[in-house]
Homo-oligomer: A and B are copies of this chain.
Amino acid sequence: MDLVIGIDIGGTKTKIGLVDAHGECHEKTFFRTRDYPNLEAYLDMVKSTADELIQKIGQPVNLLGCGIGAPNASSKNGTIENASNLVWKGRVPLVEKLAQRMNMPMRIMNDASAAALGEMLFGTAKNMTDFIVITLGTGFGAGIVANGQLIDGYDGFAGELGHVDMTMGDGRLTGLGVRGGLEAYVSATGLKRTIMYMQSKYMVESRFRSIAYNDLHGEEITRAAEEGDEIALMAFDYTARIMAQALANFTAFTQPEAFILMGGLTNSGKWIMDPLEKYFNAFLLEVYRGKVKLLHSGMQGKTAAICGAAALIWENHKNKAS
């Protein structure tokens, strides 16, 4: 069976799976990224984990390569550089080092760009040439496809839209210290920060008055909204409004046919999506109105990141992929 190793390197978890030509993930597992602050030990763990998965398949495997999605990855350099959510600092020559352990075609890419390729090969964007994937997890990521091609940038770092400043230099700081950076507002983390902000701004009662920031989780905010908690409702509205403004701005850039949303924040369902739709259509320039769709990822939540990473290799075998 032809398979590709897909690896999603996240700040918390590293997910590894074996993906076939149809984007189906046959074996998968994960381990905690933060348990391996030493890069060499981490790469050894990646290698042994992949080997175990291959053993499990139980039939002869033809490995076509290994695709890797990671934050702040440069596809052109094969590196991860200055990723604020990862334990290894500076410039990490990941492809070079992993290739010493695993001898096969290997590509790394920004995780959101990998997700975009995954959507194009296996998901919602199968027939689209112009779309943007937005990942709303710990941070805010974007994978941009225009003219049917992924936008990579001069140096492989295109799509870092979480660091776009929407506030003329007068806003929250991101983890990278960017003032007014979008991901300080629009991400799972941003929503938590807005729960704090709303408690500072208003005096209304809320269940959040007795929950510390570190104990706060996205599901709890969704549940609070369902119960009519005003702080939760205002936080979703505020987040959706800024996100709508951002997506309206991005539309003026490449005019995508659709935004495809994925990641933790989208699990809040209508609480984020309803105000998002409303504000987005209000903010869109006349010439774009009614032409830009807001869609959900067409890939199973749990394996989307792995399949996206694997798509980096499957893209070069398009005749086999479907």
Q: Residues of A with Cβ closer than 8 Å to B?
A: 72, 81-82, 129-130, 144, 146-147, 149, 151-161, 163-169, 171, 176, 178, 241-242, 245, 248-250, 252-257, 283, 285-288, 291-292
Asked if residues A161 and B286 are in contact (CB atoms below 8 Å), the reply is no
Knowing A146-B146, A158-B146 are in contact, say whether A165-B283 is a contact too (CB < 8 A): yes
Question: A153's closest neighbor in chain B, by CB?
Answer: B255
Does B256 contact A154, Cβ atoms closer than 8 Å?
Answer: yes
Please tell me if the beta carbons of B147 and A147 are within 8 angstroms of each other in the complex: yes
Residues of chain B contacted by A149 (CB below 8 angstroms): 146-147, 149
> Which residues of B sit under 8 angstroms from A169, Cβ to Cβ?
241, 245, 283
Collect the chain B residues with CB atoms within 8 Å of residue A168's CB: 166-167, 171, 242, 245
Give 25 A-B contacts (CB < 8 Å), ordered by A residue.
Answer: A82-B286, A130-B154, A146-B149, A146-B151, A147-B149, A147-B151, A147-B152, A151-B254, A154-B255, A155-B288, A156-B255, A157-B287, A160-B285, A161-B253, A163-B252, A164-B253, A165-B245, A165-B248, A165-B283, A166-B167, A167-B168, A168-B171, A168-B242, A176-B286, A253-B253
